[in-house]
Structure 1
Amino acid sequence: MDTTASSESTSTPFDAQRLSIGELAQQTGLSHKAIRLYDKSGLLRPREVDPCTGYRYYGSDQIEAARLIAALRGVGMGLDRIRVVLGLTAADAALEIKAWHRQEQASAATRRDGVSALIAALGHPHEGEPGMTSTSTITTASSTHTGGVRHEQLDAAVTLALPGGRHLIAVADGFTADPNPAAPTLSTRILVAFEDELAARLGENADPGSVDRALEAAWDAATDQVDDLDGSTLTAALIDGARIHVMHIGDTRALLHQGKRWEVVTSDHTHVQSLVAEGRLTSEEAASHPERATLNRALAAGARTEPDYIVRTVTSDARLVLLSDGIHGPVRPAEIVRIVQSAVAPADACEKLVNAALGAGGPDNIAVAVADIGL
């Protein structure tokens, strides 16, 4: 399993087929950047480096090691521990991986205990805190598109004015094993259930603490729509004056632009993204990871359906944007920022974001909702 042959050699004989870095990338699904990272880390050294061009060449017998490195990185193992694993026999490597995983489980349990203690100490910081519904004006817009490749629309978006001057914007990105054009999609059903329950729970004279309870009830109503065939993400934002309450699951995203500040409010619920956030996986490795789009939390049968509940308070005029991955997948983050900052109104932002996704190939369904909050 040892793959650490020196990258400085330019004449090492090959006992297997010689592969360029591009051919190795094609065989393993790794990106060129990831392979270069593994070379720099000493994990996967090329068998030959051309002294004139600097081109790297690998042996076909290194394909298995490259895939193993990617798999170990995919479960969060650090580079130094991987280096140990690669120097072991298969049986001993299995024991090493098992020992590493046991410690990971113990560390996770310790973190859970610490988080529980923090939550108990802080209590519920939002219960009973008043919104500032009389000090803001809200303008909203939403848009959906099938994209440039798919024929069925599984994404959905909604904007809704609610009692007490509140507003809801939400997007859902559905997926299904059996599309039925004649039936409402899960994304549509969960948005309808969410907004109906929220509207029913929030009245003109609702006490401030009722916002949390209304959102929890609305989430339960959305979850009740899940069946055995379909699944969906959901990012819903209730704007209550200067307070924004976000309920989120999956890889739809909430972005907030306020003054000169720009924040990605939500985190994608994929295992790969969690590893990036923890510093266990680089963005280059994540970009080519075969499970980069696999959700570990979603509104789907057998999945974890508990949402992230996030609250932000705006202190100046702000723009809130909710996106499905039909936009944030193909469109570069810098371009999304430019559009959001330059658009004159929510409808303009929606149109330009949809067009940007289509211009980038539009490989997926598209959903976007935008709210301008004026204080």
Structure 2
Amino acid sequence: MPLLTIGAFARACRLSPKALRLYDELDLLRPLRVDPETGYRYYAPEQLAQARLVAWLRRLGMPLALIRELRDLAPADAAREIRAYWARVEAETAVRRDLATFLVDHLSTPPVPVDRKDLTMLELRYCARSDRGLVRPANQDTAYAGRHLLAVADGYGEAGGAVSGAAVDALRVLDTDLLPAGGVLGLLEDAVTGATEAARNAAEGGEGSGTTLTALLWTGTRLALVHIGDSRAYLLRGTGLFRITHDHSVVQSLLDEGRLTEEEARSHPDRLLLLKSLDGSTTGTPDLRLHDAHPGDRYLLCSDGLTRTVPEPTLHHVLTTSPTPEAAARALVDAANAAGGEDNVSCVVADLVEQAA
């Protein structure tokens, strides 16, 4: 069958000649032959399927670098990677949707005068604990709890401890009664930018180093969440325990796609691999969102040294039966070590209670 000129090939696959030239330069779709004198490109009809696949993936918004990786995969493997990519897109879209909903409500609803005599003032009662565990030679976790800020970071790599500590220290500027003027999410986003830079600086010279970060900022009326990695935040409200973060991990993406069960995930060989973290090769954008606060809410922030060894029914039991944050945090660390203590374990437990008169 005769070769197709670039113009004919472009019409057949619905890509522009300009796009075809770009994909040639990026080694995405090479022409079968290039005229040595004119530089004119010629394509085989058999390349139409690959060209249409590239066009479809670009319509999905898939980055060119990822399309290049898919190009040489078997169809089943390519389908798996597309499912994983779209699961990440949907998760990130959900975060942006929540933020957009908040902004629409915030900007379209005029402030309502509040009679402070009838206003219930809440405050945090909190405890942070971090433990090396029974196996690891050092503790690379960092846990912090203050009047306004709760945070857990799980470092990894040669400089993991320094990186997790630097990230949390950069957020501690927000642990004050006198927050700067401006929206709380904006303040938190600026602080996360500082935490990212601090983590990057701390990781210099430490090969493959980075950290997770999960933090809650108490504004006096709401809690603002920042989250990246596979540390977690839980809310105990009434008798129900709810996870309010989504793991940025390879195993979680497989669970989202229905390709793993919870039982299989616990022993999966890639269960420690992250899709996003602060610094390192998996750096990504943290999740930011706001949560309403109710009197009596209890929050748990923890590293995966707790959640990979202590099942959620046990977490629920400890959080519902412990009378204070101190007792809950101590019991949770003890439970992780009783289960083998294979990893560092850190947790922050905080209660929202009415302020004393």
TM-score normalized by structure 2? 0.66
Q: Where does the alignment leave 5 or more consecutive residues of structure 2 unmatched?
A: 1-71
Partner of 2:171: 194
Sort the Cα spacing of 1:342 and 1:117 in 2 relative to 1 into closer, same or farther, 3 A: closer
Residue 250, structure 1, aligned to residue 229, structure 2? yes
Report matched runs for 1:1-375 at 5 Å. 95-97=74-76, 100=79, 104=83, 122=101, 124-125=103-104, 135-161=121-147, 167-177=148-158, 185-196=162-173, 198-199=174-175, 203=178, 206-207=180-181, 209-225=182-198, 226=200, 227-228=203-204, 229=206, 230-375=209-354
DSSP-derived class of the 2:330 partner: helix
Q: State the alpha-carbon separation in 2 of the partners of residues 282 and 154 from structure 1.
A: 29
Sort the Cα spacing of 1:186 and 1:137 in 2 relative to 1 into closer, same or farther, 3 A: same
Q: How much is the aligned-residue C-alpha RMSD, in angstroms?
A: 3.4
Q: Is the Cα–Cα contact under 8 Å of residues 236 and 242 in structure 2 kept in the other structure?
A: yes
Displacement of 1:282: 1.7
Q: Is the Cα–Cα contact under 8 Å of residues 251 and 270 in structure 1 kept in the other structure?
A: yes
Identity %: 31
Sort the Cα spacing of 1:102 and 1:246 in 2 relative to 1 into closer, same or farther, 3 A: closer
Q: State the alpha-carbon separation in 1 of the partners of residues 306 and 94 from structure 2.
A: 34
Name the aligned partner's letter for residue 251 of structure 1: D
Report Cα offsets for 1:136-162 as digits up to 9, x if no partner: 02211101111011121100111122x
Sort the Cα spacing of 1:325 and 1:99 in 2 relative to 1 into closer, same or farther, 3 A: closer
Displacement of 1:126: 7.0
Partner of 1:22: none
Q: State the alpha-carbon separation in 1 of the partners of residues 267 and 227 from structure 2.
A: 25
Count the aligned residue pairs. Answer: 270
Q: State the alpha-carbon separation in 1 of the partners of residues 75 and 261 from structure 2.
A: 23
Report Cα offsets for 1:35-57 as digits up to 9, x if no partner: xxxxxxxxxxxxxxxxxxxxxxx
Name the aligned partner's letter for residue 186 of structure 1: V
Displacement of 1:259: 1.3
Q: State the alpha-carbon separation in 2 of the partners of residues 357 and 113 from structure 1.
A: 31
Q: Where does the alignment leave 5 or more consecutive residues of structure 1 unmatched?
A: 1-92, 162-166
Displacement of 1:280: 3.1
TM-score normalized by structure 1? 0.63
Name the aligned partner's letter for residue 76 of structure 2: I
Sort the Cα spacing of 1:150 and 1:316 in 2 relative to 1 into closer, same or farther, 3 A: same
Q: State the alpha-carbon separation in 1 of the partners of residues 96 and 144 from structure 2.
A: 37
